[in-house]
Structure 1
């Protein structure tokens, strides 16, 4: 059985469309039955509209109506929609009877609503699935999956995973564990590594998920190594593993797997975290506009050139994006960095030094007050970053990572995080940074994000731990 939270998070589009169908059907039924426009609606029916939405959401959260929705045919979908609307109608009648309000509301209206909603929801779901099937080859929003198996299973596995009409993953490549077939193709998919090179390949490429089907020894060790790199691992149900964290049983195409990861966010957590990001980033961008008016002339006078600093950084699981900051350094800062490497106070793959001569006078003030960070709210709004996460490395730093360092990229990078509020000026060991980042990822919760945000505010106000 597919994990409920995972199912709902994958099908947010259907959830939103169903809510729209319910609203349209409710007010259409109201107009047909009572012959009034929506803006003349009595308060009782407005309140009942809210009740209908809550009933729908309650049924959605306790049932598995969205589980396997993309695999259902037209008849199966009709059955699901009819059952869902019948359950809503039954709950509505029960509430009216229990509250002794059946004489206040038109029961014919609610029966009409259920009929209209059944038809509307069914048609909209079929249309949505047709659109998804027609766009199944588009890459945007899909995870990169690497198949890890032996040569005997590889061809059937590729065919099986590719048979699904709609997938939320793209098959990135194949690793053959028992034979060196690197450079060859299996059903059009590249064999990208063998057992000896697969960890280095995952470290150096964008890989979100591993599909592991292997009947040889070492499955537990392979899973452990990939988990240490922060990659989601789907293990075929035939390979039952001990000690897999956050394990959940899922269906991927026609295969039943055990999915394990260093952290699995629930649907509710994903929605809340993203809503927090969007809401705060809108406010942050407004403040950024005000700061631009104040600081842009000073930045340009002290060092003529662009006001914003743009640099390619590495995000979740190796994705590249442009990070934005107010420029706090002279224009030749990157060229001068090589000359200053001997004064790097960090032990490991980060650069930091006291009294960096590349920083402009106004840049020192902006860094001390973290004003230079405000343009990153643009990255947060775009979805490249989150409010709370791990700091995104530069491409040069990322290219020097050991395999276990990639685990800190298992979540979106953040404007602030565990490392920053733990005294970033005092921490000089990169391995300690990785440890703190992994601690955040493994213990993620919305309450932890809020605590980190509050600590960040106090850290900035005290000007403690600034770069």
Structure 2
């Protein structure tokens, strides 16, 4: 939960330095603003993920109305360091923002520390923003079914360092590929729509809210494979056990040949069973790709109630990249891979994706679909 306050820290210009903030900014950018604090933030976030502990941040940002005055940010940093704990990490985020990392500290604790930095001065000099990871993210999921864009103040990961040109090419491939898929497979989609409509009551297209990049919800399209108005409790319980790693409950195969997917789901129609096994039910997602909500290749988009059960490190699969129709998990693991390993495959893709890798995954997907490997 994001919380902003204001406080005043008085400072004076050091001898020999002009009262020009722009002059000081140049010095600050060149001398003090480097990657140290951001790298520390990433390291602490990874540690929090491994230990399942909470990480909080306080950002102290120079108010706009004071930007015309000289502010000695070194003095501010010195004052801040005296007021925080020795285990906290403090540094420059940019020329007008100081960040304080608070390991093993929840949102309530962050607010208490923030309160120590605030005094009763009537002319605020800095705004103080507190945010916690991952508690605010999970709270946002539970309340709204999405992740608010402000739950963490700035990006935590550097894995997606592709140039804008590569991202533009990926989007171009998505547009061309989705149009090609829609045109070529339109006869299959029309036959499927007719089969669904004539064998069970209800809409042809099943619409569902899923979470895309940064946890932003979007309407996800599939051919309807289930009877309408069926309770989803069976799936909720299976997802809960899957993410918890309770293999005894979730393994629908055996020890030597595990299968981590619901086999006997009573909600599925006869036509639905066929289109699921052949992956035909996924074809309407080409329209999601064309709209820019998904990519041809990427992590799978989860339901909100799935993401609520995630551990902190699981969130990387939805925070950093657009979801895809297919992905590394689908071609290398699919139903034979347990939850944590499937997330690791998604993260591996996020860390090392390239257009060539996307092409290889798309070609492998054709083989997986034709052989119905891992489908049910």
TM above 0.5, one fold?
Answer: yes
**Match in the other structure for 1:310:** 207
| Match 2:61 to one of 135, 142, 154 | 154
How far apart in 2 are the matches of 1:432 and 1:345? 16
Q: TM-score, normalised by structure 2?
A: 0.59
Q: TM-score, normalised by structure 1?
A: 0.48
Q: Tell me the CA shift for residue 292 of structure 1.
A: 3.4
Query: How much is the aligned-residue C-alpha RMSD, in angstroms?
Result: 3.6
Q: Tell me the CA shift for residue 398 of structure 1.
A: 1.5
Q: 1:384 touches 1:412 (CA, 8 Å); kept in 2?
A: yes
| SS class of match (1:440) | helix
Q: Aligned runs of 1:35-434 on 2, under 5 Å?
A: 148-150=57-59, 153-156=60-63, 178-180=113-115, 193-194=130-131, 197-202=132-137, 204=140, 205-207=147-149, 232-233=155-156, 261-333=158-230, 335=231, 337-339=232-234, 347-348=242-243, 352-409=261-318, 410-427=320-337, 429-434=338-343
How far apart in 2 are the matches of 1:391 and 1:190? 38
How far apart in 2 are the matches of 1:263 and 1:158? 35
The verdict on how the C-alpha distance between 1:276 and 1:190 changes in structure 2, with shifts beyond 3 A counting, is: farther
**Match in the other structure for 2:47:** none
Per-residue Cα deviation, 1:211-231 (whole angstroms, up to 9, x for no partner): 67xxxxxxxxxxxxxxxxxxx
Give unpaired runs (5+ residues) of structure 2. 1-55, 68-99, 101-106, 117-122, 141-146, 245-249, 251-259
Q: Identify, as 1 or 2, the structure richer in helix.
A: 1
Which has the higher Rg, Structure 1 or Structure 2?
A: 1
How far apart in 1 are the matches of 2:128 and 2:217? 24
How far apart in 2 are the matches of 1:402 and 1:422? 23
Q: 1:323 touches 1:379 (CA, 8 Å); kept in 2?
A: yes
Q: Tell me the CA shift for residue 389 of structure 1.
A: 0.2
How far apart in 1 are the matches of 2:354 and 2:235? 39
Q: Tell me the CA shift for residue 326 of structure 1.
A: 0.6
| SS class of match (2:220) | strand
Q: Tell me the CA shift for residue 388 of structure 1.
A: 0.4
How far apart in 1 are the matches of 2:194 and 2:290? 26
Aligned length: 254
The verdict on how the C-alpha distance between 1:306 and 1:180 changes in structure 2, with shifts beyond 3 A counting, is: farther
Q: Tell me the CA shift for residue 262 of structure 1.
A: 2.2
Per-residue Cα deviation, 1:66-119 (whole angstroms, up to 9, x for no partner): xxxxxxxxxxxxxxxxxxxxxxxxxxxxxxxxxxxxxxxxxxxxxxxxxxxxxx
Q: Tell me the CA shift for residue 443 of structure 1.
A: 1.0
**Match in the other structure for 1:466:** 375
| SS class of match (1:425) | helix
How far apart in 1 are the matches of 2:290 and 2:309? 29
How far apart in 2 are the matches of 1:415 and 1:159? 49
| SS class of match (2:63) | helix
Q: Tell me the CA shift for residue 286 of structure 1.
A: 2.2
Q: Tell me the CA shift for residue 414 of structure 1.
A: 0.2
Q: Tell me the CA shift for residue 157 of structure 1.
A: 7.7
2:354 equivalent to 1:445: yes
How far apart in 1 are the matches of 2:135 and 2:196? 42
How far apart in 2 are the matches of 1:389 and 1:348? 20
How far apart in 1 are the matches of 2:135 and 2:267? 35
The verdict on how the C-alpha distance between 1:438 and 1:342 changes in structure 2, with shifts beyond 3 A counting, is: closer
